[in-house]
Structure 1
């Protein structure tokens, strides 16, 4: 064997070691992140399933009528709020919702909280929906971990994503027959069968795995790479104001009678040639400087759709905010949208879901394969190390336990009392 072949073999062997341990050290956390994140691609659908009391809006009502309907409720129940919003039915969420931001008391500094209600267009009243976490809880758990401070969670999940990216790259290096492995499965062969399943689940959605892992790191880059921002800006708030903020429209402090939200929605419809809206809101309602914001439903391809700002008193269109904020911010926006998949239609969302489940299976089979190899190796010596037993028990708890926990989460949503 030539020295070049020896060098290649040593390199692959070292990459195999790195691949194994990069996947094992945070494998259980990665499994948790992949499973909950994959379910998050249908977060709105899960929200609706978990709140069966929320009825779909009658398709006979126009968007302008629905906005006016929501404003009627806000005038009655959200007087004095600093912001009013009406959430309109879309292809994924067929409900009508209203939200408002309570005013802050200047003496106690209390307030500023958001309140959301779902409306019944038949009665004009708010629907009494069960207080459930829904799909949003699952989505947020995959990066915020739910049980700890956000910054600590972001650092931990970013570290896990870094280990995942390292495992993917080293996995590509050690797979000499990467395309052959894609079409190879030998059932009933124990360790070999686990290896074949691991290879198939790794190679088939490999572009998705690389995209979702790298974009996840970019998503949280302001937490994990703060030096990039600090080298150019005094603090993060200055950076976000320069790159991501929308035009500022401050309140004048003088009352004025403005246009109705339905009228403002009609103005936006004329400007945008009757496109479908997702949200219509007013900042500082009843103020001389009240400003309406109108959001299109969906995206402009993969980028955010423009936001229309309208003077809520005169009806004058103030500006149409674009998302083109330069090449760096554009790349960041594309990667974040690729990660979240919110732009995807139903078919593409199912492809996201299938790829995510294959990634979940890839991590699970990798963990099982690690224990299978070591049990076989140690079995020849007639011993089973404590480390192996520990990993086997963690595998059972994490892999099977999380699946059971998610199932119980859905089940309990129907079994627990409505008023709980």
Structure 2
């Protein structure tokens, strides 16, 4: 079990630290995107009279420019002073856009913002590493290893909760272990929640077998499952024919706000100018999820354009809990899409502490091996340890340096550069790769200090770079009321000060030599038969936990999904419950395999359980 915790944490810790840090940053993806777009200062907010004016102008513009279009879209300003966007598609599928001033309704050019991935980059890296389908599955595997490492860590460190109240600074390895335990216990519920919801977020992709067992293997299986789990109301239709006038939209917006309590985000006019025309008003979710309830959706109100009659109402909140809201709850919990900025800051600090826990745990391996090498790799042990040291630096300090370098890439790449959002991501990966080269070139102690110092300098210099490239600065943001870009720069300054303190502490207290790698004996001894058998036993357990555990989870939960309707529930609810439970079962199997007396015993139990589950699945599907 100790081997499981050590090596599961080490091999996954490098990427897990990067995944955790980028996930933490993605909590503030909207403010990051706003800062990186570097848009002009917002105009004064529009009043109710202005809204009447530009709504009337919007219908005039659409009537003159897109009379033959099958639908019109009007995107309302997300923030006071922003522009109004009108859009439609012509018969050849080409999308057209027109922008209006939200105060006067006058046509104006499109907002001049930089093409950027913004905060979406951190979110995409968080769940795919920008690696497509292989990256998506790799992140899922690492998330599962994280849960296994958490459970095995609690099992191995029997005094973990007692040691939470014990911190002994200046005691070398003991201090590092105390810090690892303290940060783990402090964030343990958060870590379990974020790890599990990260897997359950994509539950039908990571574990599709219960769904296939209940609904078949064809391409329409998922569609049938969703239709039963979360049936969508039919689109409102009006019978009749003839020509109709485009209605006054302002009363419909006011009525929708009264019915739902949400401001409008978008107006869609289906079949404009037709007697069967329908006006759909979609509500806007509160900024940063600042809603009094955990689940807040975008409301929808459909009106008959000719009469103003309400045809359909989908509220922002549902009084009754439905099965489909289970996944919506998981999504809201993982994305911090509730509770406003307070919850987002709580997630941010919990994510930073969790990242520190992972980083300290990864460093513990190197610190222990410096004091006493176990010569796991024979004559290559010293070289392997040296690579581990370099990977530690690049994965922990390097990802922080690459993340702040991403902001620099946004400002340094010319605004008119083709495909500049992709070049921002390349800038990020180039900076991260450079940290690995630097860590391999420099001694570990110097690499740590230099990379953390570089990250501190970049964080502290970000407001200066922004002022030099855009002319915007903190005072300008304060005057124009742009709180989100200002918060990004203040957070960068605070991060720079924290990193500078870490550099100062390392220089003062790091007592190891620059190399810091334990050396193996001059001549490695041949592995004894017992040692070789132990290694093969470890390999066998790893395969049993990974492959055998996944197979058993898939078969057992498929059987559960098929038997669930016997209790009176729908097949869709059975699939949902079984799939969500499968990640808990898989984690338990992984830990149980390493807790078994022997690898052979673990394999035997898995084989018997797989056989029994397979028989049940075949019998129920026959």
Q: TM-score, normalised by structure 1?
A: 0.81
Aligned to 1:143: 127
The one of 115, 121, 131 equivalent to 2:115 is: 131
Correspondence 1:347-362 to 2 at 5 A = 347-362=342-357
Does residue 405 of structure 1 match 2:424? no
Superposition deviation, residue 179 in structure 1 = 2.9
Aligned to 2:295: 303
In terms of mean alpha carbon deviation, does 120-129 or 345-354 score higher? 120-129
The one of 224, 227, 245 equivalent to 1:257 is: 245
In terms of mean alpha carbon deviation, does 133-142 or 215-224 score higher? 133-142
Q: Structure 1: where are the runs of 5+ without partners?
A: 1-13
Q: In structure 1, what is the Cα distance between the partners aligned to 2:226 and 2:210?
A: 13
Superposition deviation, residue 115 in structure 1 = 7.2
Q: In structure 1, what is the Cα distance between the partners aligned to 2:98 and 2:363?
A: 44
Does residue 416 of structure 1 match 2:413? yes
Superposition deviation, residue 417 in structure 1 = 2.6
**C-alpha contact 2:279 2:302 (8 A) present in aligned 1:** yes
1:260-282 Cα shifts (integer Å, max 9, x gaps): 4433212202324xx34251231
Aligned to 1:336: 331
Q: In structure 2, what is the Cα distance between the partners aligned to 1:46 and 1:376?
A: 43
Superposition deviation, residue 22 in structure 1 = 2.1
**C-alpha contact 1:246 1:321 (8 A) present in aligned 2:** no
The one of 181, 185, 195 equivalent to 1:213 is: 195
Q: In structure 1, what is the Cα distance between the partners aligned to 2:13 and 2:258?
A: 52
**C-alpha contact 1:97 1:117 (8 A) present in aligned 2:** yes
Q: In structure 1, what is the Cα distance between the partners aligned to 2:284 and 2:174?
A: 51
**C-alpha contact 1:88 1:95 (8 A) present in aligned 2:** yes
Does residue 269 of structure 1 match 2:257? yes
Correspondence 1:10-409 to 2 at 5 A = 14=1, 16-56=2-42, 58-62=44-48, 64-65=51-52, 68=55, 71=58, 75=62, 80=69, 82=71, 84-89=73-78, 95-96=82-83, 98=85, 100=87, 102-103=89-90, 105=92, 111=94, 121=103, 124-125=107-108, 126-149=110-133, 152-234=134-216, 235-244=221-230, 246-249=232-235, 256-272=244-260, 275-277=261-263, 279-282=265-268, 284=270, 286=272, 288-298=276-286, 299=291, 301-305=293-297, 307-313=299-305, 314-321=307-314, 327-378=322-373, 384-409=381-406
Aligned to 2:474: none
- Cα gap change, 1:261/1:159 in structure 2, threshold over 3 Å: closer, same or farther? farther
**C-alpha contact 1:201 1:362 (8 A) present in aligned 2:** yes
**C-alpha contact 1:82 1:283 (8 A) present in aligned 2:** yes
- Cα gap change, 1:259/1:410 in structure 2, threshold over 3 Å: closer, same or farther? same
Question: Is the partner of 1:280 in helix, strand or coil?
Answer: strand
Question: Is the partner of 2:267 in helix, strand or coil?
Answer: strand
Superposition deviation, residue 64 in structure 1 = 4.9
Superposition deviation, residue 184 in structure 1 = 3.0
Superposition deviation, residue 89 in structure 1 = 2.8
**C-alpha contact 2:59 2:246 (8 A) present in aligned 1:** no
> Larger RCO: Structure 1 or Structure 2 (Cα < 8 Å, ≥ 6 residues apart)?
1
**C-alpha contact 1:309 1:320 (8 A) present in aligned 2:** yes
**C-alpha contact 1:243 1:329 (8 A) present in aligned 2:** yes
CA RMSD of aligned residues (A): 3.5
- Cα gap change, 1:136/1:114 in structure 2, threshold over 3 Å: closer, same or farther? farther
Superposition deviation, residue 33 in structure 1 = 1.5
1:359-385 Cα shifts (integer Å, max 9, x gaps): 111111111112221232219999943
Q: In structure 2, what is the Cα distance between the partners aligned to 1:70 and 1:139?
A: 38
**C-alpha contact 2:71 2:271 (8 A) present in aligned 1:** yes
Superposition deviation, residue 205 in structure 1 = 1.5
- Cα gap change, 1:340/1:311 in structure 2, threshold over 3 Å: closer, same or farther? same
- Cα gap change, 1:205/1:277 in structure 2, threshold over 3 Å: closer, same or farther? same
Q: Structure 2: where are the runs of 5+ without partners?
A: 418-622
Aligned to 1:9: none
Q: In structure 2, what is the Cα distance between the partners aligned to 1:66 and 1:195?
A: 65
Superposition deviation, residue 285 in structure 1 = 5.1
- Cα gap change, 1:384/1:276 in structure 2, threshold over 3 Å: closer, same or farther? same
Superposition deviation, residue 220 in structure 1 = 0.7
- Cα gap change, 1:74/1:361 in structure 2, threshold over 3 Å: closer, same or farther? farther
Q: In structure 2, what is the Cα distance between the partners aligned to 1:245 and 1:283?
A: 24
**C-alpha contact 1:74 1:84 (8 A) present in aligned 2:** no
Q: TM-score, normalised by structure 2?
A: 0.56
In terms of mean alpha carbon deviation, does 68-77 or 56-65 score higher? 68-77
Q: In structure 1, what is the Cα distance between the partners aligned to 2:364 and 2:337?
A: 34
Superposition deviation, residue 289 in structure 1 = 4.0
Question: Is the partner of 1:318 in helix, strand or coil?
Answer: strand
1:161-188 Cα shifts (integer Å, max 9, x gaps): 1111111112222232223332333333
- Cα gap change, 1:308/1:64 in structure 2, threshold over 3 Å: closer, same or farther? farther
Provide the aligned length of Structure 1 versus Structure 2: 395
**C-alpha contact 1:55 1:120 (8 A) present in aligned 2:** no
